[in-house]
Structure 1
Amino acid sequence: MTTLAEHIIVAGAENRPPMLKKSMYDSWARRIRLFIKGKKHDRMMLNSIDNGPVVYLTIEENGQTRPKKYSKLTEAQQLQDDCDVQAMNIILHGLPPDVYALANHQDAAKDIWDRVKMLMKGIELSYQEHECRLMTMQQVQVNTKFLNALPSEWSKFVTDVKLAKSLYSTKYDQLYAYLSQHERHANEVRITRERYLDPLTLVANSPTLYNPSQSP
């Protein structure tokens, strides 16, 4: 459904096709179609974009096969050919220079339209991949900051987590739930250290070092 804003854009730019912004291809494609709908023979231009140009019949001349000349086409065929050229001009005038340079060598409105779509969809995928990587980096930074902030009695368990879990894909709440299973043992380590400040005394009074991998 066409929005009021899109109607206003078209009405205010009657002779100027909307300019493509790489991050807004779908919006631009709708606006181009709206722009064409305000022109004479709009259906024929849209038909050129969707289905391609007139297919010229071939003729035999001097032993060679070649397409019919424009002057030999019927009036209806000439009109459709003119509409294809006009649609090409509208699309090309709505492209920024770098995209224009990649699409202007096409010979039909449909070919230009499909080329621009392919280029822009590729850029959208690149944006999505970049955002995904950015979210992954944010996740590992949060996890690392959380682990590094834990007191020294958690050092064994932090090491175990780094070996057993991926800090890039594990969510913060999952990390917390995993560590909370070892909270009792971490508290025992802390209490023992507070009781025996001398490291040699601590070792002498520690029965068996706790191994996180043996925890349920």
Structure 2
Amino acid sequence: MSNQQDIYAAGSENRPPILNKDNYIPLSSRIIRYARSRPNGKMIIDSIENGPYVRRMIATPGEPDLLVLVLESFHEQTDEELTENDIKRMDADDQAIQTILLGLPEDIYAIVDSCETAKKIWERV
């Protein structure tokens, strides 16, 4: 029969393992394995290790009829210009944050609460 600490360390299919300050190295490995088992697992891990999806800058053709010749300009990718894969990546960024935060005790959660990306949370923990 396992005790409560063993249950926290193991996690479950629906919840990542919980961080115990004495077992960070094994826990980090367990969280990565848990993330890998989720839908979009590779994208979740990529978000944790490399940071969130960054919208691309899209070139807009210039307007040759203007007084001052403008060859082209750039704008940040809009929601309408996102591909299905871009949207999955953005969802994976949110899932990565949630995966890490669910495994943190309240005192550590309070320390990383201001971090906006999974990568920053991961580095801080």
TM-score (norm 1): 0.43
**Once the 2 structures are TM-superposed, how far is the Cα of residue 19 of structure 1 from its aligned partner?**
0.4
Larger radius of gyration: 1
> Greater share of strand residues, 1 or 2?
2
Q: 1:47 to 1:102 in 2, by over 3 A?
A: same
**Once the 2 structures are TM-superposed, how far is the Cα of residue 68 of structure 1 from its aligned partner?**
3.3
**Once the 2 structures are TM-superposed, how far is the Cα of residue 23 of structure 1 from its aligned partner?**
1.3
Q: 1:12 to 1:95 in 2, by over 3 A?
A: closer
Which string of whole-angstrom CA distances, capped at 9 and with x for unpartnered residues, describes residues 153-177 of structure 1?
Answer: xxxxxxxxxxxxxxxxxxxxxxxxx
Q: 1:11 to 1:100 in 2, by over 3 A?
A: closer
Question: Are 1:86 and 2:95 matched, yes or no?
Answer: yes
> Greater share of helix residues, 1 or 2?
1
Which amino acid in structure 1 is aligned with residue 122 of structure 2? Answer: W
Which secondary structure state, in structure 2, belongs to the residue aligned with residue 106 of structure 1?
coil
Number of paired residues? 104
Structure 1 segments unaligned to the other structure (5+ residues): 1-8, 117-216
Instruction: State the match for 2:112 in structure 1.
Output: 103
Q: 1:10 to 1:39 in 2, by over 3 A?
A: farther
Structure 2 segments unaligned to the other structure (5+ residues): 1-7, 60-73
The separation in 2 between residues aligned to 1:114 and 1:59, in whole angstroms, is 31
Question: Are 1:15 and 2:14 matched, yes or no?
Answer: yes
Which amino acid in structure 1 is aligned with residue 102 of structure 2? Answer: H
CA contact (8 A) 1:91 1:113 kept: yes
TM-score (norm 2): 0.72
Matches within 5 A, 1:8-87: 13-58=12-57, 67-87=76-96
Q: 1:38 to 1:22 in 2, by over 3 A?
A: same
Quote the RMSD (CA, aligned, Å): 2.4
- The structure with higher relative contact order (CA 8 Å, sep 6+) is 2
Misfit runs of 4+, over 6 Å: 9-12
